[in-house]
Structure 1
């Protein structure tokens, strides 16, 4: 899987949210569909399993940086299928995604 080499994540602290289920739903859906094709972008094909694994890496990186459940995390990148990995990672971490379109 190719993950974009340049991802700009803008971190905005906020109050924690309770009862956030997005990451849990992503895990269930990705586990259910496993190696099936999730996304096709040109010659690149992403599977549910591969995309979920990459998103967990993003989620862990956010946690290591001190981002806690409910914090807002902005994604500033071009409109492309590649933004799905950081988006899912933010959701898996229990954070709130803020999409910044430039």
Structure 2
């Protein structure tokens, strides 16, 4: 069944997700949050697209912590094994694409 999702209208508890689709074992979910997540490593790659708001993304690579401020329209790709955490700067809506069942 076709679906239209108006991301700007979606709100929930922090990091609660609205499932959009499951395509060949890859989950696509819309998240709303206004609170940091926790440091974690996904079970595979992750694509993180900020649809609304701003998110400071932290990740560890080559023994150093790095950060980038993501604005609406920006995309972060975490290769498999990348430890990372997202810190929204106020309310944010994020489209997350990752292996189904990943943390």
The structure with more helix, counted as a fraction of residues: 1
TM-score with structure 1 length normalisation? 0.28
The structure with more strand, counted as a fraction of residues: 2
TM-score with structure 2 length normalisation? 0.28
